[in-house]
Amino acid sequence: MRKIDKDAGSSNVRVWRIAGTAFLIAAVACTVVACAGKAKQEEAEKEYESLAELTTTPVEDTPEPSSEESVESSEEPEESSPTKELEDMGITIPEKQVDFDNLQETVNKDIYAWIYIPDTKVDYPVLQHDTDNAYYLDYNLDGTRGYPGCIYTENYNAKDFTDPVTVIYGHNMKDGTMFAGLHRYSDSEYMKEHPYIYMYTPDGLLVYEIFTAHETSDEHILYAHNWFEEEWVMEEYIEDIRDVRVMGSVQREDVEVEADDRIVTLSTCVSNPNNRFVVQGVLLNGSEE
């Protein structure tokens, strides 16, 4: 009969106990980190919600003018509204105001625009880091690292939206926030019901009409097309966009896009890490040099 080594058996038990304890500690630590990350994400999302609420201007009842005031006002020349061009197109102007000075002073100095698509969750400040183009992919408004990050552009794009193509990035969050909702544009009816991208800047409101949504490769759009410095490059790019016929792509043929137009491209992730989903709109106003 083989002799049992009691000391060795006891040693093995101790090893397994230590290993089990270490695993439990590691599991608890991972849970704590995950919970902390989730809490940080929820806090960041609540901050975005609070900021969005601050930009909403309540509609106030305007008192009816007296008959005398009506006569006087009718004699004065009508002043042109900053958004008159849009109003003449029949585009509804949202009741929204963005105080960029306050946002830059109290929230984050890199905020330079605000993107809004009515009746969606896209209602966020747009940021651009001076030197690190991937910074806001991983960092929140308050400088903490983690999700959901920020809606941002790279410093290859000007902050006044005068480039032929401006690319704006945002995470595809599982809870539907940030740019996750862009995927709904793979439905043509949804695109018709949500046709405009409103871009607020310190210089005024820009409105883009969405003309396409589709999955594409993860190529760097600006770099791959030589920053669109030549008009023929822009012409070819628009033709390529119009030729996209992959599953889930939507084209609005009734929206005209020319080589001298300005395009905004909203980009987010898909399940395939080598691809991206983009929603693109053409600028309707403020395009004069």
Confidence class for position 40, pLDDT limits 50, 70, 90: confident
pLDDT at 73 over 50: no
Question: pLDDT tens digit string along 76-93?
Answer: 545 556 578 899 999 999
pLDDT in tens, 95-123: 999 999 999 999 999 999 999 999 999 99
pLDDT of residue 38: 80
Residue 45 to residue 177: CA distance in whole angstroms = 8
Write out the H or E segment, with its range, that includes residue 10: helix 6-55
Q: What is the pLDDT of residues 188-202, one digit of tens each?
A: 999 999 999 999 999
Q: How far apart are CA 202 and CA 183, in angstroms?
A: 29
According to DSSP, the β-strands at 204-217 and 123-127 are unpaired
Q: What is the pLDDT of residues 210-265, one digit of tens each?
A: 999 999 999 999 999 999 999 999 999 999 999 998 888 999 999 999 999 999 99
Query: What's the CA angle centered on 222, arms 135 and 233, to 5 degrees?
Result: 175
User: Whole-model pTM?
Assistant: 0.81
The 10s digit of each residue's pLDDT in 22-39 is: 555 554 444 433 445 788
Instruction: For residue 6, give both structure tokens.
Output: 């009691």
The mean pLDDT value of the chain amounts to 86
